[in-house]
Each structure stands twice: as structure tokens, then as C-alpha cells.
């Protein structure tokens, strides 16, 4: 092994902020952020579907931006701020988006849910009143094997609707 690689496979010490708390650990170079969150921090809300970037189930907020946690090395997230689906509820209260998606039956098996919740949370933070087309566009990188897209889009729209709009759109 060349000298440049000595000790560089791990364990590598990392520190990061996860859902507002300082966390840390030793990781192998090849450990992804998703595996670190799930296996070392026990935050199994972040789901792994494809493990190569195409399904979106593992989406987390990394320094406030939606990011595939299966495509980021844990070592690369050293010093960063991470928010996972576990951080969306505050004091046991579901977020407005979680509530609206619950009410709209946006979940079937629930496997894709954490990714959709995080991606939609990021959308609403930037654009609190998206059109339906904007919601569909923003969520186009997330796959739902149960194909419940209609109810997911409806849930996101319900979260940003004032009383008027939700009244008009309810079935």
C-alpha cells in the first residue's frame, strides 16, 4: 500500500450536527452518510432503496440542502449540519407537512416517505406556495414503488394551502 493511503481507510473520526445535536464517531472511508446515520446513530428513519442515487429514499438535508445520503461519504459530511426525517417533528408534534400528508393518505407502505418528506420540506422552505406543477417537478427525483404519487402531491399541496385553497381542493 502506498504511503499516501496509510491510515486513510479508517477509522476516521468525524463530528457533525444531526437534528440539532452534536454527534460524532469513527467511520471507515467507505461508510456513506446514510449508513453512518442508520447503523452508528440508530437513525433508521432514513431509508436505503437503491444505494446508487436514483430512488431518493435516503434524502436528508445537508447544510439545509436536500442531498442523497447514499451518495455522500460520512467523512465528507464532517463538520456539516444534517437534518433527517426524525428531526421534522418538534416536541412530539408532527410538522405541518407531516400532518397534511398524514391527512391526505400520502403513505402506503411508507418506504419512500422519509425521502419525500425531506424533499418536500426543502421545497416549501424555498417556495411556501408552489403550484402543482412545481410540486411535481420538485419531487420528480423521488420514486414511490407503491406509485402513490397522486396522494403525495395532494398532501404537499394541502400543507401549503390556506383554509380557502384546502376547502376548494378537498374532495
Partner 1 sequence: MKLPPFAYRAPESLEEGLELLAAGEGEARILAGGQSLIPMLALRLARPSLLIELRRVPGLAGVHEDGSGLRIGALTTELVAERDPRVRAASPLLFEALEFVGHPAIRSRGTVGGSLCHADPAAELPAAALVLGAELTARSLARGTRTIPARDFFLGPYTTALEFDEVVTEVRVPAPPSSQGSCYLEVSRRPGDFAMVGVAAAVVRGGDRVLDLRLALSGVGDRPRLLTRDELELEGQDSPEVLFGQAGRSVAARIRPPEDLHASAAYRRHLSRVLTERALRTAFERAALQGGAASA
Ligand X SMILES: Cc1cc2nc3c(=O)[nH]c(=O)nc-3n(C[C@H](O)[C@H](O)[C@H](O)COP(=O)(O)OP(=O)(O)OC[C@H]3O[C@@H](n4cnc5c(N)ncnc54)[C@H](O)[C@@H]3O)c2cc1C
In whole angstroms, the minimum distance from the beta carbon of 22 to ligand FES comes to 25
Listed ranges 18-26, 69-77, 104-112, 152-160: which one lies at the site for partner 1 (CB under 8 A): 69-77
Cell of 73: 461519504
In whole angstroms, the minimum distance from the beta carbon of 140 to partner 1 comes to 5
Report which of 40, 39, 45, 42 is spatially closest to residue 61, judged by C-alpha positions. Answer: 45
What is the CA 168 to chain-centroid distance, rounded? 30
State how beta strands 12-18 and 81-83 pair: parallel
Rounded Cα gap, residues 94 and 21, in angstroms:
19
Chosen from ligand X, partner 1, ligand FES, none, partner binding at 15 (C-beta under 5 to 8 Å by type): none
Cell of 26: 469513527
Residues that bind partner 1 in the complex, under the rule CB under 8 A:
1-5, 8-10, 12, 28-30, 32, 35, 51-53, 56, 59, 62, 65-68, 70-73, 75-76, 119, 122, 137-138, 140-141
Amino acid at each position: 500500500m502506498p504511503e499516501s493511503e496509510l491510515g486513510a481507510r479508517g477509522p476516521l473520526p468525524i463530528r457533525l450536527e444531526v437534528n440539532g445535536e452534536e454527534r460524532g464517531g469513527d467511520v471507515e472511508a467507505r461508510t456513506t452518510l446514510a449508513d453512518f446515520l442508520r447503523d452508528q446513530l440508530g437513525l433508521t428513519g432514513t431509508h436505503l432503496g437503491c444505494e446508487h442515487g436514483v430512488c431518493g429514499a435516503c434524502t436528508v438535508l445537508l447544510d439545509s440542502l436536500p442531498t442523497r445520503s447514499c451518495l455522500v461519504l460520512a467523512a465528507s459530511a464532517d463538520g456539516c449540519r444534517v437534518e433527517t426525517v426524525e428531526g421534522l417533528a418538534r416536541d412530539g408534534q408532527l410538522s405541518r407537512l407531516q400532518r397534511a400528508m398524514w391527512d391526505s393518505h400520502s403513505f402506503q407502505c411508507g418506504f419512500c416517505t422519509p425521502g419525500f418528506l425531506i424533499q418536500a420540506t426543502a421545497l416549501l422552505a424555498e417556495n411556501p406556495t408552489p403550484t402543482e406543477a412545481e410540486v411535481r417537478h420538485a419531487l420528480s427525483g423521488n420514486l414511490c414503488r407503491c406509485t402513490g404519487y397522486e396522494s403525495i402531491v395532494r398532501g404537499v399541496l394541502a400543507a401549503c394551502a390556506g383554509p380557502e385553497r384546502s376547502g376548494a381542493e378537498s374532495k
